[in-house]
């Protein structure tokens, strides 16, 4: 683990389903490098993986990030049958810090403009989580949401080691 975090945090997985905005993905890659998490990108992407804006947002961190590209979310799930998946959405009442995170967990986030598909949320309703916010706040920036949830998982894993 880099920068003093939990040595087990490198086992966390951040999943972006059809991300659209290159700077958000770049910033999330930087977060993943900071805690040693894997970044999974599920196609179609709203940008090219070598897009200048993506690299600029991730700066020199992009090449250090463990990035895996998937043709579909079912392909990712099929390759990780033992994985636990948490789906972040504004359509849940279960707050993200109420989950007990473990090594190898997958934190799944949707598109910036539409979130995760309704069918996916319905299929995994028991695993949906949300970030609390006031009603007048429509949503949070994707990188901000990923940072909050990812660092809560890191905090929990570090507490388990004590």
pTM: 0.89
pLDDT tens readout for residues 21-78: 988 998 999 999 999 999 999 999 998 776 566 666 655 677 888 999 999 999 999 9
pLDDT tens readout for residues 91-139: 999 999 999 999 999 999 999 999 999 999 999 999 999 999 998 887 8
Sheet holding 85-88, edge to edge: 66-70, 38-42, 13-17, 106-109, 85-88, 128-129
* Helix/strand/coil for 74: helix
**Domains of the chain and any CATH numbers:** 9-161 (3.40.1280.10)
């Amino acid at each position: 683990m880099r920068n003093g975090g939990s040595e087990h945090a490198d086992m966390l997985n951040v999943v972006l389903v059809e991300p659209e905005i290159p700077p958000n993905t770049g910033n999330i890659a930087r977060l993943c490098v900071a805690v040693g998490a894997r970044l999974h990108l599920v196609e179609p992407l709203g940008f090219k993986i070598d897009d200048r804006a993506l690299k600029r947002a991730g700066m020199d961190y992009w090449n250090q990030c463990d990035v895996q590209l998937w043709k579909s979310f079912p392909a990712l799930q099929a390759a990780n049958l033992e994985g636990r998946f948490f789906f972040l959405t504004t359509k849940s009442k279960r707050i993200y810090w109420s989950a007990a995170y473990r090594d190898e967990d997958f934190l799944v986030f949707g598109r910036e403009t539409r979130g995760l598909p309704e069918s996916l949320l319905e299929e995994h309703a028991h695993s949906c989580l949300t970030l609390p916010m006031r009603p007048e706040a429509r949503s949070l920036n994707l990188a901000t949401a990923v940072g909050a949830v990812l660092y809560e998982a890191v905090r929990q894993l570090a507490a388990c080691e004590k």
